[in-house]
Amino acid sequence: MAKVAFLGLGVMGYPMAGHLQAAGYDVTVYNRTASKAEAWVDQHGGAMAATPKEAATGADFVMACVGNDDDLRSVCTGESGAFHGMTAGATFVDHTTVSAKVTRELYEAAQAKGLGFVDAPISGGQAGAENAVLSIMCGGDQPVFDAAEPVMQVYSKICRRIGESGAGQMTKMCNQIAIAGLVQGLSEALHFAEKAGLDGRAVVEVISQGAAGSWQMANRYETMLDDHFDHGFAVDWMRKDLGICLDTADETGASLPVTALVDQFYKDVQKLGGGRWDTSSLIKRLRALG
């Protein structure tokens, strides 16, 4: 089996790397907080490295799932970045949600070193990572994607190349744009039901079977009704992603009025102290308004 390095062991990366080790890959992990890497090795075996460069040395594939553009640049081209340890012919797969701009920048840097680079942002949340049913949207050269796809299939239910470098990140932006509107609509529907004195669970049982049904409704309505928001994808990260969407919309000329509005609603949630709440916490803002 191929040798794989995995950089970033957050709520997504930790189980993803574990699936690779369980599938028989020779996995070396790196995490900025070393104690997380130590815990992963204790649980899954494999090895840990002190730097991205060390983890990537000799690896056939280097997977990353970090925080933002600057974090990704650091683990790729920083002083101890993975690109300095990778050998020509190896492939870097980025699962971080970042801008298409930094993706294309790093794609070119990889090309200059004879490395493959696939932008492969993920959707499905923590549960998707833990259950190996993520949706992965990819951009990059077809032969490089073809080589990396079997590795990504270990923790995905669908893994598809959309187009050239940056196409994966652009597709993830579409995903976040769609989610923002869906969550706000669901929040308003449940808030309306509460104000009208209706049984929210009964309402969802009926409307979820029709045109209003969605993944967000099926997986989040109960916790929203119960005022529980300590799971899933955090508001702080959603605002980061929506900022990328809005900046890119300015560059491409796309109009995103609903996305811009929901981004400001998430800003209100942050002001309520909900930066680490799940994105379904938009209903908290409506309840706070009375």
Active-site residue flag, 284:
no
CA–CA dist 229, 49 (Å, integer)? 34
Amino acid in position 102 = V
Q: 188 to each of 46, 101, 107, 224, how far by Cα in Å?
A: 47, 35, 41, 11
Q: Which of 172, 240, 267, 271 is catalytic?
A: 172
Q: How many CA atoms lie within 13 A of 247 on its CB side?
A: 10
CA–CA dist 30, 53 (Å, integer)? 9
Q: 68 to each of 80, 153, 187, 234, 263, how far by Cα in Å?
A: 18, 24, 28, 14, 18
Q: Bridge partners of 93?
A: 63, 118
Count of H helices and E strands in the chain?
A: 13, 9
Q: How many CA atoms lie within 13 A of 260 on its CB side?
A: 9
- Contact between 60 and 4 under an 8 Å Cβ cutoff? The reply is yes
- Which candidate, 280, 158, 277, places its Cα nearest to that of 216? 280
DSSP-assigned letter for residue 257: H
Which residue numbers are catalytic?
Answer: 172
